[in-house]
Amino acid sequence: MRICIVGAGAIGGFIGTRLARAGSHQVGALARGATLTALRQHGWRLRQGGELLNGAVAASDRADELGVQDLVVIAVKGPALTEVARGLAPLLAAHTLVMPAMNGVPWWFGRGVPALEGAPLESVDPGGEIARAIPMAQVIGCVVHASTFTSEPGLVEHKMGQGLIVGEPGGGESARVRELGSLLAQAGFEVTVSPDVRKDIWYKLWGNMTMNPVSAITGAPVDRVMADPLVLAFVSAAMREAAAVGAQIGCAIEQTPEDRHVITRKLGSFKPSMLQDVEAGRALELDAIVTVVCEIAQRVGVATPNIDALLGLTRLFARTRGLYPA
């Protein structure tokens, strides 16, 4: 297969390296700047379990140089996706599958949901530009359960987890998703083929929506957030609101916040991606993780005062540091 990773950062580099080492696939990268330079010099690089893994890569900052692909994995940060989507056409043919491996709610999430289908989710797809650039029929839903970071451009460090959930955006099963799941499993990922990937996306968001921004604005790793009873009570209240929103869009949560806290505590001390972005001076993925929840809540008529407060605080924090547009 011809595979292209769009955005060879922490997650993109993780997936790209593993796929490049899995067999006879040609795994290229659409990248830029220091990451592109590093890929051209060193190839794919992933440090995992004390071992440095390498793989060959054809890397370019021009999609037309890479050509039509069988699979395009999009792993850019949310704020960059609209611009990236404008240049994807040379990678896409009618048979190309597009798998976004990104944080939060994707641009296609509202399709097929009566309460949301009338208009694009402006917080993640302003004006529907991404949906026009990437045909819905070619999209495969994906949820990543892994913690990685880049210690330098082009060098990915794996901390924990290697789970990938894949599924048809509209639900159900298909041969193409089973084949993609097999491809990813051969690369060493722990793959789940989901009959309802939208629910899996919302479930992951249910935790990330609070822990990511709270950690970002306080500078505290997750274990310290969990250890503060007042902060944890606020987190739980916001999670109950998000669960109420999910119930209105076919993404019911079958746990309580306290159930989820038990799972989170088992992960120990770690810095969520949004705190890592703050420390690195990168733009925050606030819209796909928090803003979109407020937008969906407004459209389905669910009050979310705690999520609204979390959005306001994090947005102001990020704007004062130049990490979110004014």
Catalytic sites, residue numbers: 204
Distance, in Å, from the CA atom of 234 to the CA atom of 69, rounded to the nearest integer, reads 45
For the record, the structure tokens of 43 come out as: 């190839």
Sheet holding 59-60, edge to edge: 59-60, 26-30, 2-6, 71-74, 97-100
The per-residue DSSP string of 229-290 comes to HHHHHHHHHHHHHHHHHHHHTT----S-HHHHHHHHHTT-S---HHHHHHHHTPPP-HIIII
CA distance 139 to 118: 19
- Tokens representing 144 are 């990543």
Cβ atoms 44, 17 nearer than 8 A = yes
Q: 288: left (phi > 0), else alpha (psi -120 to 50), else beta? A: alpha
- Which pair of structure tokens corresponds to residue 213? 């921004």
Residue 250 token pair: 């076919």
Q: Are 156 and 179 in contact (CB under 8 A)?
A: no
